[in-house]
């Protein structure tokens, strides 16, 4: 079986592993760790979709092939949608999960009377080639924030997020169970369906 190469525009090993685990086996996932000269695209957009597009187009302008970029984060209703697009650098430095979680807990702890804290994870995907976006996808998962972190799986805000219909946090779910309901999983399944239709030699696929 000929595999479809996809360059995922991330140097986040956790995110790359999760994407590789969710996509079907026919995809050959590469990351920016294999391309040390790939550009670091500044995320200046005001939405997840805008940031995903900036990354996908910026990286695909420098690298040959299909580039898939992800921008995702947590939106808490009580905080008017924060951390939002600042999720990865909420506490100041990019990628410091413990600091980001601690800041979120501090902010919600003084608002205990507003609990439970409705929230959602959001994922925007952008697929680009030759510096131009050719498709985009969106996925969410609804839930709430707990002030008592639990679980050792996952990354980011997973220890604080309880998906709707569950009593455990994302970080307490096995990887396959999390991927089946996650925002990133939902967006990636839409992507996989779209690109399968695009590359299929038989049948017709609706837009």
Catalytic residues: 71
Strands (E), 79-190: 117-129, 132-145, 161-163
Place of tokens 């131009």: 132
The span from the first CA to the last CA of the chain, in angstroms, equals 26
Coil, helix or strand for 171?
A: helix
The CA distance from 162 to 199, in Å, is 37
- List Cα–Cα distances, 123 to 21, 29, 93, 101, 111, in angstroms: 16, 18, 21, 19, 26
Backbone angles phi, psi at 65, to 5 degrees: 115, 180
Coil, helix or strand for 75?
A: strand
Query: Alpha helix (H) ranges present in the chain?
Result: 13-22, 48-60, 97-109, 175-181, 183-199
């Amino acid at each position: 079986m000929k595999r479809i190469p996809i360059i995922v525009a991330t140097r986040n090993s956790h995110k790359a592993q999760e994407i590789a685990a969710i996509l079907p086996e026919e995809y050959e996932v590469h990351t920016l760790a294999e391309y040390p000269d790939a550009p670091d695209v500044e995320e200046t957009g005001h939405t997840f979709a805008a940031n995903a597009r900036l990354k996908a187009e910026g990286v695909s302008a420098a690298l040959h092939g299909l580039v898939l970029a992800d921008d995702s984060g947590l939106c808490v209703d009580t905080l008017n949608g924060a951390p939002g697009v600042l999720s990865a650098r909420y506490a100041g430095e990019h990628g410091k999960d413990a600091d980001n979680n601690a800041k979120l807990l501090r902010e919600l702890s003084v608002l205990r009377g507003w609990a439970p804290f409705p929230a959602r994870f959001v994922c925007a995907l952008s697929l680009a080639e030759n510096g131009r976006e050719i498709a985009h996808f969106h996925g969410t998962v609804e839930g709430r924030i707990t002030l008592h972190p639990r679980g050792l799986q996952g990354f980011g805000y997973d220890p604080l997020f309880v998906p709707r219909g569950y009593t455990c946090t994302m970080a307490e779910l096995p990887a396959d169970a999390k991927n089946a309901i996650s925002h990133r999983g939902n967006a990636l399944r839409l992507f996989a369906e779209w690109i399968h239709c695009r590359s299929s030699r038989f049948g017709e696929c609706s837009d």
